[in-house]
Structure 1
Amino acid sequence: MTTDVVITGLGATTPLGGDVASTWDGIVNGASGIRRLEAEWVDRFELPAKIGSPLLVEPSEVLPRVQLRRMDRCEAIAVIAAREAWADAGFELPTDDTESVDPDRLGVSLGTGIGGPLTLLQQDDLLEGEGLRKVSPLTVPMLMPNGPAAMVSLDVRARAGVHSPASACASGAEGLAKGWDMIRQGLADVVVAGGAESCIHPITVAGFAQARTLSTRNDEPERASRPFDVDRDGFVLGEGAGVMVLESAEHAKARGARIYGRLAGVGITSDAYHITGSHPDGIGQINAMQRALRTAELQVSDIGHVNAHATSTVVGDVGEANSVRKALGDQVAVTAPKGALGHLVGGAGAVESIITVLSLHHGLIPATRNLETIDPKVELDVVADKPRHVEQTAAINNAFGFGGHNVALAFTKA
């Protein structure tokens, strides 16, 4: 018998807001989280891209200073998003006397593309500038890529397994996929799943800039990220975290939990083609979407919309558009949140999955910000100008990453 996996809690901190409600409100109302970066290094290194999408609410406004000093920024935002999702699901953090969920039936699956590069680089600067004694003894736990997942597992006291997929920009979506798999295999009743990333730093901006993947529309930050638009010139680097509480339907119903929807199917493939570019025929992306449909036992006609990966790069957006058309046809509605959020890397797939679930929940597909003139090579029904009210039963969220990682997640209404 197949175990249904339902969503009972949502949590996020993003460039549009410090929680899910403000992030959703920003997406629906056409806000932008993209702005000029204020750090002095932007001008010091003469970086061609001087814009980004940092968090709207700093972790220091949410967590105490003592706790923040023991975590990398990526770990901190993962904990913040996870705590919101945990509370939203109706659970309380464990104490010496009480536990909301049996720890042996509780898992964590939280992906990140890079992990703690800010800690690594800061501590290296300290070592070279001030010597060994200035290096934190917590350097390794703060920089390791499994740090965000581990910190969340300590917070909620999860003992059924802690997983930390690192699949570049598909990491957050793969975190959700692994959580789905844990529940379906009977390894856990509840999994805290998603992704987080915080890597806005001169070396990452310089690296992406040298690869010519970043937008340089520095004088118009809010108009810089333009998925599917004919004038797009690259993505905008952002940071953020998104977390869902996934549960077996049986466990959720037994405790009377509110259910947002269902993670119904998962498709994971790999291109084995190029370290940064996707396969020109979109084979991996198409197969991922088709696998998501099969595992969800859905038909193409069931899909109300696709939340596209669409980063606003010249080649990538057209490639995905072609893949969506081949997998799902040209009548399916499409939206692309990165026009408002920028690219949250390892957090993108998770945050955008939350947006997908809320789109189904509210019967509202957000408009793609900054889509003024659609690229004629994008032969799709991309929602633009204003949100579209439409009742839907299912939707797909795409997330693709450097290295040829492809993840498609199929969600359905509760």
Structure 2
Amino acid sequence: MNEREIAVTGIGMVTPAGIGREATWDGLCAGVGLGAFDEDLAGLPVDFSCRVPGFDGNELLGRRITWRNDRFIHLAMVAAREAVADAGLDTGAWDGPRVAIVIGSASNGGDRWPQEYRNLDEGRVEAISPTALLRSLPNMVAGEVSTDLQALGPCLTTSSACASGATAIGTARDLLRAGACDIAIAGGTDSARVPMGSAAFYRMQALSLRRHDPAGASRPFDADRDGFVLSEGSAMLVLERPRYARARGARVRGFLSGYGASSDGYHATRPDPDGSGAQRAVLAALADARADVCEVHHVNAHGTSTPLNDSVEADMLTTVFGTPPPVTSVKGVIGHSLGAAGAVDAACTVMSLERQLIPPTANLDRLGEGMEIDVVTKTPRAHRMQGALSNAFGFGGQNAVLFFRAA
């Protein structure tokens, strides 16, 4: 093991493809879009989303935890518990002050704020929940996971829009390299499929309007893409310094070898058309990993299904690689979970390396004009690979790229 690299020893996931990493993986490999009518969005111009099926916070976490927290925290806690169990760690026996929590979130959620505002507008101040503020503060997701797991080291929340989950993983990597902790639980979470989220993104012309075909609405890199599909979810990785993982005999799923971040400095919502910001992040991740472009055998793309983002990303990959390695975007199946997306993509990238299999991009029937990339579609593709990139780009021109190596 290279001591600059960080071992990934556990993965936990909660996505519209299923609760748990194996259910998620199976759903992604099925390659079928999961957009569907969402009763919570009924009456809005965009009334469909990708929702985690059968998620019962009361059953999974207990009523007290679900009462005092919003859904984005519920998702994160379930994913974090699975990741820790997958790593074979005992929270009752570990050295809590040496365990860090770093979680990214873009919008948090806000699923219960409308009722609180109604209470306020109606002068019913005493009806406002005493947990109204706490359950939606960005830092509280890290705080709640820290308390739940008794992880008592650095406890941070990152927010870099749709790059938040990847930023969190990169930040956790930095803490481990600096010796600030021995273990870090890092990832992202969001649940923005709420009325205000749908209405706001609709007004920005960011969402797909394919109401007649919600399952086919998220179509990354497809010529007929017209916007993304709101989603929700969470993914967490357990990261350890290799020396610590070796000492406890941990199974290693993969290695986080490089992290690169950049800013476009161009526009609040649109990526720089020349892709230079994203390109800098990719090259920074490779430089950090001391890797060459020829060592990248797969790219898990940001691939949101928006006309401009997909075109810019495809062109950037061609610029960097000449002939890019096989590309996929899991958002075709599970939609765009905003701050969770970078962590979901990272977890899927590790699993692809581990299984030497790339999940397909759903709903890709005809590649967009001018795109010269090899997108995996229809069925999973077996592919020999040692290194892979996971891209995450967000509003504000924020870019975060992770480079993983197979174990």
Picking from 377, 382, 385, the partner of 1:389 is 382
- Determine helix, strand or coil for the equivalent of 1:382: coil
CA positional deviation for 1:31: 3.2
Residues in 2 aligned to 1:220 and 1:291: alpha-carbon distance in whole angstroms: 39
- Determine helix, strand or coil for the equivalent of 1:304: coil
Q: After TM superposition, where is structure 1 displaced by more than 6 Å over at least 4 residues in a row?
A: none
Picking from 317, 322, 335, the partner of 1:324 is 317
- Asked if the contact 1:78–1:242 (Cα under 8 Å) also holds between the matched residues in 2, the reply is yes
What is aligned with 2:39?
Answer: 38
CA positional deviation for 1:330: 2.1
- Determine helix, strand or coil for the equivalent of 1:10: strand
What is aligned with 2:181?
Answer: 188
- Determine helix, strand or coil for the equivalent of 2:158: coil
CA positional deviation for 1:204: 1.0
Are residue 52 (structure 1) and residue 52 (structure 2) matched? no
Are residue 143 (structure 1) and residue 143 (structure 2) matched? no
Q: Given residue 3 of structure 1, which amino acid in structure 2 is its aligned partner?
A: R
Residue deviations 1:151-199 (CA, integer Å, cap 9, x gap): 1111122222111111110001111111111101111110000000012
- Determine helix, strand or coil for the equivalent of 1:187: coil
Residues in 2 aligned to 1:6 and 1:126: alpha-carbon distance in whole angstroms: 48
CA positional deviation for 1:291: 0.6
Q: Spell out the pairing of 1:221-300 with structure 2 (5 A cutoff).
A: 221-300=214-293
CA positional deviation for 1:201: 1.3
- Determine helix, strand or coil for the equivalent of 2:23: helix
Picking from 66, 89, 103, the partner of 1:68 is 66
- Determine helix, strand or coil for the equivalent of 2:61: coil
What is aligned with 2:81?
Answer: 83
Q: Given residue 146 of structure 2, which amino acid in structure 1 is its aligned partner?
A: S
Residue deviations 1:250-284 (CA, integer Å, cap 9, x gap): 11110011110001100000111111011111111
- Asked if the contact 2:317–2:324 (Cα under 8 Å) also holds between the matched residues in 1, the reply is no
Structure 2 stretches of 5 or more lacking a match? none
What is aligned with 1:93?
Answer: 91
Q: Given residue 68 of structure 1, which amino acid in structure 2 is its aligned partner?
A: T
Picking from 199, 202, 212, the partner of 1:209 is 202
Q: Given residue 80 of structure 2, which amino acid in structure 1 is its aligned partner?
A: A
- Asked if the contact 1:6–1:249 (Cα under 8 Å) also holds between the matched residues in 2, the reply is yes
Residues in 1 aligned to 2:347 and 2:213: alpha-carbon distance in whole angstroms: 28
CA positional deviation for 1:303: 0.6
- Asked if the contact 1:115–1:146 (Cα under 8 Å) also holds between the matched residues in 2, the reply is no
Q: Given residue 28 of structure 2, which amino acid in structure 1 is its aligned partner?
A: I
- Asked if the contact 1:93–1:155 (Cα under 8 Å) also holds between the matched residues in 2, the reply is no
Residues in 2 aligned to 1:163 and 1:119: alpha-carbon distance in whole angstroms: 24
- Determine helix, strand or coil for the equivalent of 1:252: helix
Q: Given residue 62 of structure 1, which amino acid in structure 2 is its aligned partner?
A: L
Residues in 2 aligned to 1:322 and 1:249: alpha-carbon distance in whole angstroms: 36
- Asked if the contact 1:271–1:278 (Cα under 8 Å) also holds between the matched residues in 2, the reply is yes
Q: Given residue 373 of structure 1, which amino acid in structure 2 is its aligned partner?
A: R
- Asked if the contact 1:16–1:32 (Cα under 8 Å) also holds between the matched residues in 2, the reply is no
- Determine helix, strand or coil for the equivalent of 1:62: helix
Q: Given residue 14 of structure 2, which amino acid in structure 1 is its aligned partner?
A: T
- Asked if the contact 1:85–1:245 (Cα under 8 Å) also holds between the matched residues in 2, the reply is yes
CA positional deviation for 1:130: 6.2
- Asked if the contact 1:33–1:56 (Cα under 8 Å) also holds between the matched residues in 2, the reply is no
What is aligned with 1:16?
Answer: 17
Residues in 1 aligned to 2:321 and 2:233: alpha-carbon distance in whole angstroms: 29
- Determine helix, strand or coil for the equivalent of 1:194: strand
Residues in 1 aligned to 2:243 and 2:321: alpha-carbon distance in whole angstroms: 31
Residues in 1 aligned to 2:165 and 2:66: alpha-carbon distance in whole angstroms: 22
- Asked if the contact 1:237–1:342 (Cα under 8 Å) also holds between the matched residues in 2, the reply is yes
Q: Given residue 68 of structure 2, which amino acid in structure 1 is its aligned partner?
A: R
Q: In the superposition, relative to structure 1, how do residues 125 and 284 fare at CA in structure 2: closer, same or farther (>3 Å)?
A: same
Residues in 1 aligned to 2:173 and 2:64: alpha-carbon distance in whole angstroms: 34
How many residues of Structure 1 are paired with residues of Structure 2 in the alignment?
405
- Determine helix, strand or coil for the equivalent of 1:168: coil
Residues in 2 aligned to 1:156 and 1:385: alpha-carbon distance in whole angstroms: 39
What is aligned with 1:220?
Answer: 213
Indicate the RMSD between aligned Cα atoms, in angstroms. Answer: 1.3
Residue deviations 1:62-96 (CA, integer Å, cap 9, x gap): 222222101111111110100000111112333xx
Which stretch shows the higher mean deviation, 150-159 or 314-323?
150-159
Q: TM-score, normalised by structure 2?
A: 0.97
Residue deviations 1:213-248 (CA, integer Å, cap 9, x gap): 111111211111000000111100000000000000
The alignment-based identity, stated in percent, is 40
CA positional deviation for 1:2: 4.7
Which stretch shows the higher mean deviation, 166-175 or 118-127?
118-127
Residues in 1 aligned to 2:333 and 2:109: alpha-carbon distance in whole angstroms: 25
What is aligned with 1:27?
Answer: 28
- Determine helix, strand or coil for the equivalent of 1:359: helix
CA positional deviation for 1:116: 4.2
What is aligned with 2:328?
Answer: 335
Residues in 2 aligned to 1:48 and 1:324: alpha-carbon distance in whole angstroms: 34
- Asked if the contact 2:209–2:226 (Cα under 8 Å) also holds between the matched residues in 1, the reply is yes
What is aligned with 2:368?
Answer: 375
- Asked if the contact 2:192–2:337 (Cα under 8 Å) also holds between the matched residues in 1, the reply is no
CA positional deviation for 1:33: 2.4
Residues in 2 aligned to 1:317 and 1:32: alpha-carbon distance in whole angstroms: 18
Q: In the superposition, relative to structure 1, how do residues 28 and 87 fare at CA in structure 2: closer, same or farther (>3 Å)?
A: same
Residue deviations 1:26-78 (CA, integer Å, cap 9, x gap): 11122332111123x521xxx22121001113133422222210111111111
Q: TM-score, normalised by structure 1?
A: 0.95
Structure 1 stretches of 5 or more lacking a match? none
